[in-house]
Amino acid sequence: MSKKYKVISLFSGAMGLDVGLESTGRFQVIACVEKEPAFCETIRKNLKGGRLYKNLLLYEQDINDLTPREVLDDLKIDIGDIDLLVGAPPC
């Protein structure tokens, strides 16, 4: 099995981009940040449906209230362990 690249998703929305990345079998979205409750509910449904990494860490909050160090500490990883940071401008 080839390496899965670790991804953090910002402004995740309903995670269409992230589900697409996961579906390639090469990426693993390990954390996401989204503040809109309806989008977070969709994320939880995709998680429950097995379309996302089972240990996905969902930050349901404004990104301004979150520090990179907090995310890395929660994930128990270092900055060099992230392969891809993705995000989309808020709709």
Give the CATH number for residue 15.
3.40.50.150
Is 40 an annotated catalytic residue?
Answer: no
Residue-wise pLDDT for 9-60, tens only, equals 999 998 889 999 999 999 999 999 999 999 999 999 989 998 899 999 999 9
Question: Kind of pairing, strands 57-59 and 84-87?
Answer: unpaired
* Residue 52: domain span: 5-87
On the question of pLDDT at 88 being above 80, the answer is: no
Q: In the 8-state DSSP scheme, what is residue 81? A: G
Which of the four pLDDT bands, split at 50, 70 and 90, describes residue 1?
Answer: low
Residue among 2, 49, 64, 91 flagged as catalytic: 91
Q: How many structural domains are present in the chain?
A: 1
pTM above 0.75, yes or no: yes
